[in-house]
Amino acid sequence: MIIGNFKFIVDSNVGKLAKWLRMMGYDTLFFNGSNDSSMVTTALNEGRVILTRDTQIMKRRVVTSGRLKAILIRSDEPELQMCQVINDLNLDCQFRPFAICLECNQPLLERSKQQVEGVVPPYVFRMQSQYMECPACHRIYWRGTHWQAMNRKLNKFEECQQKEEL
């Protein structure tokens, strides 16, 4: 596995992490099922790190033997959960920001202004010149206020390293 290029599978008990990891550009599956074995199989097949609060998963031989990397999340507070992952893996919070659809984990495609005319609200069309589209859900992303708020979030996560030591 290349350092800095982690892929994840996020258990539903730490579901909030999926969106934030995608925001940073990490390929992240959200596991919504109840069958832990299928999550473990997917993680093994696709080289994904498991993020979970389930201690049973940590006891599995594939995990204890080191074949499969899993991180047991300690906090029940989502931002602290994120800090733990960032610190444990030394993640780059600005890995590939806004390269992945936050909803469906697909890589976004660049779109020209002409391509989104009539699709985005007129005031957005007037203000913005760069757009990206998710090939799966066709959601259009642009650098508006929502984007800025997410950017602030990423900057905040970059401060995690110091924070967790307190």
Among 24, 39, 73, 134, binds Zn ion (CB under 5 A): 134
The residue among 40 and 101 lying less far from Zn ion, judged by its C-beta, is 101
The residue among 73 and 134 lying less far from Zn ion, judged by its C-beta, is 134
Binding of residue 137 to Zn ion (CB under 5 A): yes
For the beta carbon of residue 133, count every other beta carbon within 10 angstroms. Answer: 19
Q: How far is the CB of 3 from Zn ion (least distance, A)?
A: 27
Strand-pair partners of 109 = 133
Strand-pair partners of 27 = none
Stretch that binds Zn ion, among 113-121, 137-145, 147-155, 156-164 (CB under 5 A): 137-145
Stretch that binds Zn ion, among 83-91, 119-127, 129-137, 149-157 (CB under 5 A): 129-137
- Tell me the torsion sign for CA atoms 146, 25, 20, 97: negative
Counting residues that bind Zn ion (by CB under 5 A) gives 6
Phi, psi dihedral angles at 52 (to 5 degrees):
-155, 165
| Residue that the structure tokens 């992240």 belong to | 28
Q: How far is the CB of 121 from Zn ion (least distance, A)?
A: 19
| Residue that the structure tokens 């990891």 belong to | 21
Binding of residue 140 to Zn ion (CB under 5 A): no
Q: How far is the CB of 136 from Zn ion (least distance, A)?
A: 5
Report the residue count for the chain.
166
For 3-22, letters b (16+ CB in 10 Å) and e give eeebbbbbbeebeebbbbbb
Among 5, 38, 136, 146, binds Zn ion (CB under 5 A): 136
Site for Zn ion in 54-113 (CB under 5 A): 101, 103-104
Question: Directed axis angle between helix 78-89 and helix 145-158, to 10°?
Answer: 60
Positions touching Zn ion (CB under 5 A) are 101, 103-104, 134, 136-137
